[in-house]
Amino acid sequence: MTDGIATEDLGSLKAELVDSIAAAGTLADLEAARVAFLGKKGRLTGLMKGLGALEGEARRTAGAALNEVKDAVTGALQARRDVLEQAELEARLERERVDVTLPARPRRMGRIHPISQTMDEMVAIFAEMGFTVAEGPDIEDDWHNFEALNFPPGHPAREMQDTFYLPDREDGAKMVLRTHTSPVQVRTMVSQKPPIRIVAPGRTYRSDYDMTHTPMFHQIEGLVIDETTHMGHLKGCLVEFARVFFDVEDLPIRFRPSFFPFTEPSAEMDIGCSRSGGEIKLGNHGDWLEILGCGMVHPNVLEACGIDSARYQGFAFGMGIERPAMLKYGIPDLRTFFEADTRWLKHYGFLPLDVPNVAFGLTS
Ligand code: PHE
């Protein structure tokens, strides 16, 4: 072995190893070369081991010469690795190239359902007024859907709601599919301290099916609770909402007294329209169309939710989504909303990239 450590041999060995490293075409080839030269059983490692058999000056000289070869090999390995890694990165960037300037292809993206679009528009308007969005479950217990909302057991107003009942919960609670979004008022007041300003869009259910009713439909609820909010704020808020939503500046609006167990006083809001030839048109045409229920939150409701009714007050409103959507977008038949007909959706649906926004327009 010691014979192998002649200086001239080392010179040609160095050239051979460095050349073969420079010729490695892939990172795997390079790693194989590293193992073959510097690995446990590598050629240089073998020569290094042979140094032990030498003495004094000879050992120093041979050691220095071997180290030089080793440094050259290590340097060559690193240099080749840098080149191969760079090449690999470039190949990968080329392969995974994404042209972010390509236009989107909305035609292939499906359509936003008019119900979703209408809810998004309504939320956008109320968000502009400082409301945040709250949610609650579709399956409710009797307490949230009725009792906390001041419907005592056996109250006739419960019967007005054509409730779908579900099997009792394990703790014996009566369970229902929520008949309105008002239980989200209750959930919000129980879990948050005033001031409160929320809207709650979502699905609601009543056992009713004809030309103008479907067993599942949508509502959006609004709730404002603080120390000073009064009926004037309720009116201002809803009038502004209706004019922005329907995009009719002088849309006639009136409030009629009404009754809900959870508000006092209660009202319904109508918007001006005409009905000729079975078609409803919005505007100042002498006729009226009811679009929502509202009122000042009943003190009993505040108290049931743990809010001091001597200090806090506020308003609530609840509005269906389907009817305003039909009016705004000229959809003649309620039931088509839920038929999942893709041709219908193509016609009445909205482009996914046109997200409603009050500042830039609710719909384009
Ligand atoms: N929850 C009522 C309904 O479904 C609407 C409403 C909500 C009325 C809030 C007043 C206040 O008919």
Per-residue pLDDT of the chain (364 residues; tens, 9 = 90+): 444 466 668 888 888 899 999 999 999 999 999 999 998 998 889 888 888 888 888 888 888 889 999 999 999 999 999 999 999 999 999 999 988 888 876 666 789 999 999 999 999 999 999 999 999 999 999 999 999 999 988 887 777 678 999 999 999 999 999 999 999 999 999 999 999 999 999 999 999 898 889 999 999 999 999 999 999 999 999 999 999 999 988 899 999 999 999 999 999 999 999 988 878 889 899 999 999 999 999 999 999 999 999 999 999 999 999 999 999 999 999 999 999 999 999 999 998 877 888 877 777 5
* Domain total of the chain: 2
Domain end point (choices 95, 121, 152): 95
**Are residues 117 and 87 part of one domain?**
no
Answer whether 326's CB lies under 8 Å from 335's CB.
no
Q: Is the CB of 318 under 6 A from ligand 1?
A: yes
Ligand 1 atom closest to the Cα of residue 219 is 4
> Distance from the CA of 293 to the center of ligand 1, in angstroms?
5
Does this model's pTM top 0.75? My answer is no
**Are residues 154 and 77 part of one domain?**
no
| Structural domain that includes position 178 | 109-348
Q: Does 230 reside within a domain?
A: yes
**Are residues 124 and 20 part of one domain?**
no
Please state whether beta strands 175-177 and 196-205 pair in parallel, antiparallel, or not at all (unpaired).
Answer: unpaired
**Are residues 20 and 90 part of one domain?**
yes
Please tell me the distance from the alpha carbon of residue 2 to that of residue 260, in angstroms, as a whole number. Answer: 105
Q: Does 136 reside within a domain?
A: yes
Q: Is the CB of 293 under 6 A from ligand 1?
A: yes
> Distance from the CA of 207 to the center of ligand 1, in angstroms?
17
**Are residues 258 and 133 part of one domain?**
yes
**Are residues 114 and 32 part of one domain?**
no
Q: Does 11 reside within a domain?
A: yes
**Are residues 208 and 73 part of one domain?**
no
**Are residues 82 and 29 part of one domain?**
yes
> Distance from the CA of 200 to the center of ligand 1, in angstroms?
12
> Distance from the CA of 182 to the center of ligand 1, in angstroms?
6
> Distance from the CA of 294 to the center of ligand 1, in angstroms?
6
**Are residues 60 and 155 part of one domain?**
no
Among protein residues, the one whose CA lies closest to atom 6 of ligand 1: 318
Q: Does 102 reside within a domain?
A: no
Q: Does 357 reside within a domain?
A: no
Q: Is the CB of 182 under 6 A from ligand 1?
A: yes
Answer whether 304's CB lies under 8 Å from 294's CB.
no
Q: Does 62 reside within a domain?
A: yes
**Are residues 150 and 43 part of one domain?**
no
172-194: buried (b, 16+ CB within 10 Å) or exposed (e) per residue?
Answer: eebebbbbbbbbbbbbbbeeeeb
